[in-house]
Every structure is written in C-alpha cells, then in structure tokens.
Amino acid sequence: MQKVTGIAVTDPSMLAAAHAVSVPALAFEDVTCTFVSSDDRAARYTAVADTTLRIAPGEFVSVVGPTGCGKSTLLNLAAGLLQPSAGTVRVFGEPLDGLNRRAGYMFQAEALMPWRSALDNVIAGLQFRGVIADEAVQRGQEWLARVGLQGFGDRYPHELSGGMRKRVALAQTLILDPDIILMDEPFSALDIQTRQLMENEVLALWSAQKKAVLFITHDLDEAIGMSDRVVVLSAGPATHPIGEFAIDLPRPRDVAEIRTDPRFVELHAQIWAVLRDEVLKGYQQQKRAV
C-alpha cells in the first residue's frame, strides 16, 4: 500500500492529539464482507476483503474508490447494519455488536421522513431516545439555526430545496452528538456551488467540536479539501485499501479556494495516479455487467 511519509506536521495541537490518542474511535481489523445470494446459497460476492483501517477520535478520513467498489458496504459495516464475514469492527476499542450507538449516519440516498416537518425530522432521534418534547423542540430549533434553516422548521421535505433537505439531514445526524460521524456521499446529488457551501458548513461544525468522521465519496477534490487523510480503495470485487495519503493542508479551509493551492494540486496528482486505474477497472466491470 502506498503511504506518504515524512510530512512535517507543524501544528503542535495536532501532534499532541495524535500521540495522546491511541485507541481509534473506529477500527476495521482485517474485515471481509461476503454477500450470499438469497436465491442461490452457493452464489457469493465478496465486496470488501481483508480491510484494516483505523480512524482516531477527532480525525476526518475520506475513503475514495470507483463506483460499486464497496464504499457503502464499508460504511454499513461501521454502522453495524452489516456484520463482517471475517475480521472485527471496533468502536473505541470494543468489538461492535449490533448497531453502532456511538455513530451518526448520513445516507447516500435521501433519508428524510416525508410526513414529518423539518423540525420533526431533526428531532426524530431525540424522540426515539425518549428526550422530553420541550427539550427536543428547543434543541431542534437550535440545530435548525446552526445549519441556516431558522424559520423553516414547519416546512415539509417536499417544500425544501435539495440543499435545504441535506441541511436538515445534517442537523438530524449531529443533534444526537455522535462521537463518530459516518457520511456516505452526502452531497453528491447537489449542484457544485451548493455542495461547496455544504462542505464548508460541515467543516465549520466539525472544527467546533471535533468528531471522528468517515466520509465516503468518489470525488477526489471533495476528499482532499475536507480531510486529514484520504484512503483509496481498489475496484471490486474484494475491495481493500491500496493507498493512504496524509493531507497536510492548513485549516481552516475553504473547499473552493484550497483547490488552487499548489500543495492541493500536488496531492491530487499523487492520489489520482493510484485511483485512476481502479476507476477504469470499475468502469469496465460495470460495462460487462450490463
């Protein structure tokens, strides 16, 4: 696996954090995930194989890989929605058994409840946890304001723009104050300007209260702009990490502006050199499957 080493970390707080924290917030230890067909038990597909990946508390890690390679599978394993066929997923050192209660999940697909208003969507998780109504509503209003949707609490999802719906989903995830945030291409359906605004908002919220983030994307610019580390996955089947790159760009970052930084351009070229062949392989496989 390709690793970029010898990068000078100049921020002493980053160094201290890296040394003080030895237990990863989230760890995949030699994880394999094989799907067995329900029609034919002999038909199997190994989506993820022998994957080891550790994310420190407060670290923002992006995973990039070609379409269909197994990114969502990896996230579902971290969320506890899927069980590994081999290996272990650990959460703050403990083997994950059942749903990952310390993680909040932003799905790839739109996941708001259409029959609930924006506010009721935001506070759904609090209600499921039995938080009393007044407190839930107050916290919900605070979170709506934090994601720029003050005054939109009464609107239903179909009355909101795509970007607004993503903001509601973000508030819905963050209101539960998870120690780990799992995000599966959350902004891929948005236009580029809205997307960059949302990316900057996520970075601002994250830097205020650093959580471990596993961010899945197929967009390399997005991965580099947002992350502390970018992990490249191979094309499937048996997807696994084939490259890992420390992103030594200064923070705070503006995801639009950082793209012109010479170091960004350099990192982009290095990572793309690893990713390009996998994207081509993934594309050929999809063409064969049609």
Ligand X SMILES: Nc1ncnc2c1ncn2[C@@H]1O[C@H](COP(=O)(O)OP(=O)(O)OP(=O)(O)O)[C@@H](O)[C@H]1O
Helix (H) or strand (E) holding 79: helix 71-79
User: Which residues between 183 and 242 bind ligand X (CB under 6 A)?
Assistant: 218, 236
Q: Restricting to residues 229-268, name those near Mg ion by CB under 5 A.
A: none
Q: Which does 138 bind (CB under 5 to 8 A by kind): Mg ion, ligand X, none?
A: none
Member of 70, 104, 178, 241 binding ligand X (CB under 6 A)? 70
List Cβ neighbours of 223 (8 Å cut-off, separation of 6 or more).
Answer: 62, 63, 64, 215, 217, 230, 271
- Find, among 126, 192, 205, 131, the residue nearest to 162 by Cα: 192
Pick between residue 22 and residue 38 the one whose CB is nearest to ligand X.
38
Examine residue 72 and tell whether it contacts Mg ion (CB under 5 A): yes
Q: What is the DSSP string of 102-140?
A: TEEEE-SS----TTS-HHHHHTHHHHHTT--HHHHHHHH
Write down the residue that tokens 């403990």 correspond to: 94
Q: Say what the alpha-carbon torsion angle 167, 228, 79, 37 is, to the nearest 10 degrees.
A: 110
Query: Tokens 């991965």 sit at which residue?
Result: 223
Least distance CB 261 / Mg ion (angstroms): 29
Taken in order 33, 35, 36, 38, the sign of the CA dihedral is positive
Cα–Cα distance measured from residue 185 to residue 51, given in angstroms and rounded to the nearest whole number: 20
Minimum CB–partner distance for residue 49 and ligand X (Å): 12
CA triple 136-139-145, angle to 5 deg: 140
Residues that contact Mg ion, how many (by CB under 5 A): 3
Residue nearer to Mg ion on the CB measure, 71 or 167: 71
Q: Are 66 and 281 in contact (CB under 8 A)?
A: yes
Binders of ligand X in range 240-269 (CB under 6 A): none
**Interface region with ligand X, contact rule CB under 6 A, candidates 71-79, 123-131, 190-198, 244-252:** 71-79
Question: Taking the complex as a whole, how short is the minimal distance between the CB of residue 224 and ligand X, in angstroms?
Answer: 18
Among 72, 172, 196, 200, binds ligand X (CB under 6 A): 72
The piece of 64-72, 163-171, 243-251, 261-269 that touches ligand X (CB under 6 A) is 64-72
Closest distance between ligand X and the C-beta of residue 279, in Å? Answer: 11
Contacting residues toward Mg ion, per CB under 5 A: 71-72, 108
- Footprint of ligand X on this chain (CB under 6 A)? 35, 45, 47, 65, 67-73, 108, 218, 236
